[in-house]
Amino acid sequence: MKTGKKLSVKSLFAITLCLLMLVVSACSNSSSSEGGNEKDAEGNYKDNLTISVANLTEVKNGNMDNEFHKFWEDKFNIKWDYNYIDWDSWGEKLRLWINSGDLPDVAVWNYVHGDAINNIDQGLFYKFPDDWKERWPNVAAAYKLTGLGDKLEELTGGTYVLPRPIYFENKPADPLTNQIGVIALRKDWAEAVGFELKDAYTTSELNQFAELVKEKDPGKVGNKLVPLSYNAADAMTNIIMPNSVHAMTDVPFYKGEDGKFHWGPADPETLTGLKLMQKAYKDGLLNPEFYTWKNNEGQNNFKVTGTAAVTSLGGLASYRQGLDSDMRKNLGVDSDDLVHTAIVLGDDGKYRNMEQANFWSALIFNPNISDEKFERIMDLIDYSATKEGQLLINMGFEGKDWKYDDNKELVNLLPEGTTLEDKYPARFEGLYLLGDDFSVVNPAIKKDYRDRAVELFQEKAKLGTESKSLAPYDWDVNLYDSKAKSQASFDYQNEYANLILKGGDLEANWKEWVNSKMSLVQPYLDELNEKF
């Protein structure tokens, strides 16, 4: 076979150099177009990407087929492969997806620190590029305010998780308390039975109101009446927590004034809360099957059937707006005439709650996600964290759903009683910033509701600071993880429900329960005392 002339060393070097320059040029072009996310002359993405996402927003009956979703899909040239997660199976489903390698491209995850570290160590989460904060500055600014982001970087040497900030620009109070611990009660029934309207009630005062309503039935609802419409979690939040903050699932282990760690469920204050809860149950103030209720079943008696005197609401203005909307739809009433919101105190008059770390849940990415998909998602959430993006997510389209008035104030244009969710269902594109932040200023939410929400947040901060009864968020303890900690984790809301339902003497049952758990609790207490 005929062969060509041999290349000289000089020629080989020249060819190699040319090839190297071509590679460098290609890499440079790829970098400038963000890893294959090339845009046309108008700034539009050239390639359509199908991106799988998992979230808690329920998408059904074609409710993604609207102008809102079309805007995001067109702007970022994407098609969503959506995976709905039910609240009750959230943790389990994500755990299965993560461990089996079936995690969607991006998912909202109920952050568990020990699982996060293990998953990062095993390579089950995507590692962000080192320059991500420069490339997506709006995400980076919000991420920094969570506190958790920086802590995780210290522990892992990189970014693998995006904690989702609760507040970005509109923090309502300092210190920030958890938004739980706010109730709604029927003020028309309170007036009818001669019960005083106040900003704060002790747990016993609320029980007294429920007893008056049960006795006099001012709403004429008969045997459908549910005086205290709480599920097991609500009962823990609004009866036990106000009396014993460390009885809660989030902060059961704490350092006492003696410098040693304690287990809150074993505190005498927890027994106080349990006694109040049991009394409410035995007196018929709680529904006989309250402990079986899921999600909104407690609230539905208040806002759907109108048969409850008190329900757990939470402290966000958006919750109050939603309550109003539901009562208008289901009961045909103006809730302003019927609803009073307040915070719940312990029977000693002190306000107890947890200091709120500024994050809830997190975004995680499939470890094998392509650069193109990762960057497209990050482009989307970076835009969602801008003022323009936040206005779109929380208010809709300018000129159609809202406008600026002559004083440059935001004005809602939606018809009275209509919410943005009614018009554009399943608005899950707000993947990163939580709606709590914008709800403080959102004119689509009635100003009275926004003002009241901020007022109660500030009252919680004031009362909790004065009585030194807030549970501080201890990063070291909260982020510490071990086998002993996992073994000392319990489903407290159900444990407490079982205790108050059990026959015999409650105090004896509680002591027996505490003792039964100590074989698991004490090793973790010993570990905490040794380490911290």
Q: What is the DSSP string of 319-349?
A: HHHHHHHHHHHHH---GGGTEEEEEEE-TTS
pLDDT at position 36 is 61
Average pLDDT rounded to a whole number, residues 352-370: 94
Segment 254-265, tens digit of pLDDT:
999 999 999 999
pTM over 0.85: no
Segment 260-283, tens digit of pLDDT:
999 999 999 999 999 999 999 999
Segment 210-227, tens digit of pLDDT:
999 999 999 999 999 999
Q: What percent of the chain has pLDDT over 70?
A: 93
Q: Give just the sign of the alpha carbon dihedral 95, 96, 99, 101.
A: negative
- Please give the span between the terminal C-alpha atoms of the chain, in angstroms, as a whole number: 79
Using CB atoms within 10 A of its CB, is residue 34 exposed (0-12), middle (13-18) or buried (19+)? middle
CATH topology of domain 182-355+469-531: D-Maltodextrin-Binding Protein; domain 2 (3.40.190)
CATH class of the region 49-170+358-447: alpha beta
What is the helix (H) or strand (E) element at residue 9, kind and residue range?
A: helix 9-32
Dist CA 279 CA 274 (whole Å): 8
Equal CATH topology for 49-170+358-447 and 182-355+469-531: yes
* Residue entry with tokens 């823990």: 236
* Residue entry with tokens 């007294």: 208
Give the Å distances, CA to CA, from 336 to 291, 309, 413, 449.
30, 15, 21, 10
Q: What percent of the chain has pLDDT over 90?
A: 76
pLDDT at position 450 is 95
For 51-102, the DSSP string reads EEEEESS---TTTT-SHHHHHHHHHTTEEEEEEE--GGGHHHHHHHHHHHT-
Helix (H, G, I), strand (E, B) or coil at 227: strand
Tell whether the model's pLDDT for residue 1 goes beyond 60: no
Using CB atoms within 10 A of its CB, is residue 102 exposed (0-12), middle (13-18) or buried (19+)? exposed
For residues 451-478, one letter each, b for 16 or more C-beta atoms within 10 angstroms of the residue's C-beta and e for the rest, the string is ebbbebbebbbebbeeeebbbebbeebe
Any idea how long the chain is? 532
Domain edges within the chain: 49-170+358-447, 182-355+469-531
